[in-house]
Amino acid sequence: MLKKNDELELLITGTTHDGSGVGRHEGFALFVSGAIEGERVQVRVLKLLKNYGFARLLAVLEPSPDRIDSDCALWPRCGGCVYRQMTYRKELSIKTAAVESCLKKGAGMERILPPCLPSPRREGYRNKCQLPVGLDRDGRVVCGYYGKNSHRIVPLQSCSLHPPVFDRIAASFCRFLESHKISVYNEENQRGLVRHLCLRLAQKTGQIMMTVVINGDRLPHSGQLVDALTRQFPDIRSIYLNHNRRATNVIMGQECTLLWGEERIVDELCGIRLALSPLSFYQVNRDAAETLYTLAAKMAQLSREDILLDLYCGVGSIGLTMAGQVKEVYGVEVVPAAVEDARKNAALNGIENAQFICGDCKDAVDYFAQNGISPTAVVLDPPRKGCDVHVIDEVTRLAPDRVVMISCNPATMARDVALFAERGYTAQQIQPVDLFPRTSHVECVVLLSKAGD
């Protein structure tokens, strides 16, 4: 019988949803971070639960032909990358298989999918980072990323997933806090001021937005901070404070104060200029997002006669990139600030055939009924929790010809595909797309059509 700290050999036969290898000892599943399917490994048992356990990789006895040396000094201590020890080809294969597995479990679909589309860039692709700020063992101010399955900060040296300038800004910011004796937040007692440093780069224009998340109303020496960082980093165009006084692991609060610079930075996506504020949702991999949105438009088979409904529209990035292909676009979003951004983005691009409604899907359906509007195509981009059932009910009640769903969570995507099928819409195409290289996340684009169409 297995016990904690037992050492044993395992053959890795699969991969979990979070990127760990799966091996079995006398039928009992053990999850091993850093192990690759097909490898024989030496492990030490860390934790045993009723139906599965966790083990630490001690040695790779028979390596996979897809194993490579990690090029990151922080791997595997940092919890960001889980596939840095393997070829990108293998990573894409795992992501395709993960989506197929979710479809089988969540929708009862035995389906061989086309290979996951690769990201145009695998390094430096993240246009946004959110770095927790804390103290190291020596009491020095550091920021970085949380270690896997922990809230222990792994101090940032350099991260190959985001632009190198982020590393330099973060280092300067930490030195400033330390030299001016500005306190940092302690999660255990909820004391201290500075919680996170958030950086966003508009990759097409090079503009940078910096947001300091604080547990309070003001940041001491903020004028000096602005002077120091804007002199050193001239691409910084906007510096905000975000006020988050709650005892929560949610990074940002809803209140922002502009310290210096422009209210928004501007990026370009699929030929559309998009103004971004601190709370705006925007795909973190701009280049891969262009692949994603182009594919979604192609699946939607749009024409100049179509009326497009863009649900969960955020700042309007999807609907506005498709506006030139359709008669009208209606975007729906429940967050008022996002709707305001969407309207400003339409004006920024001179787009006159797009309207944005603040509310949920039911509000949109009522608006359409009152105004005699019948959407012929719907694009859905729900959060990780997937679509609310009432959204699916309302969408299918509108009876559009085509529904395209962009999903960042294969498990909830599969569940929603099954719910659409119950309401007469079947999945005609499903395409995985890699927006997050070296991590376990994968996006999907799904075309749903009415049965018989």
Would you list which residues are annotated within the binding site for S-adenosyl-L-methionine? Answer: 283, 312, 333, 381
Angle (CA) 240 159 187, round 5°? 55
378 close to 309: Cβ distance less than 8 angstroms: yes
In 3D space, the residue among 383, 442, 368 whose CA is nearest the CA of residue 416 turns out to be 383
Residue 76: is the preceding peptide bond cis (ω within 30°)?
Answer: yes
In 3D space, the residue among 235, 241, 256 whose CA is nearest the CA of residue 341 turns out to be 256
Query: Secondary structure of 375-414 in the HEC alphabet?
Result: CCEEEECCCCCCCCHHHHHHHHHHCCCEEEEEECCHHHHH
d(CA 138, CA 28): 42
d(CA 176, CA 186): 18
User: Residue holding tokens 């004391």?
Assistant: 191
In 3D space, the residue among 178, 95, 184, 132 whose CA is nearest the CA of residue 409 turns out to be 95
Token pair for 358 = 């603040």
Tell me the three state secondary structure of residue 127.
coil
Angle between helices 164-179 and 222-232 in degrees, nearest 10: 150
Collect all residues with Cβ–Cβ distance below 8 Å to 272 and sequence separation of at least 6. Answer: 317, 320, 321, 345, 349
210 close to 135: Cβ distance less than 8 angstroms: no
Catalytic residue selected from 102, 198, 270, 408:
408
d(CA 418, CA 138): 53
Collect all residues with Cβ–Cβ distance below 8 Å to 142 and sequence separation of at least 6. Answer: 133, 134, 135, 136, 153, 155, 156, 174
Which helix (H) or strand (E) covers residue 172, if one does?
A: helix 164-179
417 close to 109: Cβ distance less than 8 angstroms: yes
In 3D space, the residue among 383, 290, 279 whose CA is nearest the CA of residue 341 turns out to be 279
d(CA 266, CA 280): 12
d(CA 156, CA 132): 10
Tell me the three state secondary structure of residue 273.
strand
Asked about 408 being catalytic, the answer comes back as yes
Which residues are annotated binding-site positions?
283, 312, 333, 381
What string of DSSP letters covers 25-49? ETTEEEEETT--TT-EEEEEEEEE-
**Any idea which residues carry the catalytic annotation?**
408
